[in-house]
Amino acid sequence: MKILVCISSVPDTTAKINFTGDGKSFDKNGVQFVINPHDEFSLNKAVELQEKAGATVTILTVGDASVDAVMRKALAIGANEGIRIDADARDDFFVATQIAKAAKEGGYDIVLTGKESIDYNGGAVPGLVAGLLDYGFVNGCIGLEVEGSTAKAVREIDGGKENVEVTLPAVIAGQKGLVDEAALRIPNMRGIMQARTKQITVVAAEATSTNVEVVGYEKPASRGNVTLVDKDNVAELVRLLHEEAKAI
């Protein structure tokens, strides 16, 4: 079984977000980047399948050389090799096109992604990849087992869970719950040393159109000062909510 795991390099959730002076791009200075959390659950599931079924696990990232450190961490967790599409991940369709091309050429049985990246939260890439490849697609996956040419998946839906089966090859978009959070692997020294010798193949991007133009970014308005109200002073709380917060 061949598994392709698509990972994104995203700012750590504790990072302070700023934009460049012209407001048209993210300022990366001083920002720590990590594996997108949803992708990390999918990567750990792939490594589980590697150990149980002898699968080979390849990671793929669209980005410049700055994402190599995040890729090495993914290799240290247990992936066998990596592919980096040398291009700026400028929009969903562009990224999906690159993934679909690599998936088709590599003949992978399963394409594992996260359901979305935590920086843009678009959630469009997995479905676009499945559409471009004409593969079955399971989104919001929180459980996955593979039996022969069939994947049995559990996906989260409003108010419950849904059990589905999909014939391979398929695209599976995972999220928290795909593996136990306590079982997420932290690279150990042996894994880190092995990752240094694992191959990352850098390939040129597939030419494609872009349908998105960044007009500008702006940060949300800062929160105002907090006003503390005594728990017994209900009248004052109501006045503040009505006159200042305009909430009632």
Question: How many CA atoms within 13 Å lie on the side-chain side of 36?
Answer: 28
Structurally, at CATH architecture level, domain 2-223 sits in: 3-Layer(aba) Sandwich (3.40)
Give domain limits for the chain: 2-223
**In the structure encoding, which two tokens stand for residue 73, read together?**
């961490």
Q: Give the global pTM.
A: 0.85
- Lowest average pLDDT, out of 64-73, 105-114, 166-175, 205-214, goes to 205-214
Phi and psi at 141, nearest 5°, equal -75, 130
pLDDT one-digit tens code per residue, 188-242: 899 999 999 999 999 999 888 777 888 888 888 887 788 899 989 999 999 989 8
**What's residue 116's pLDDT?**
92
Measured distance CA(103)–CA(97) in Å, rounded: 10
Measured distance CA(6)–CA(144) in Å, rounded: 17
Question: Does residue 91 surpass a pLDDT of 90?
Answer: no
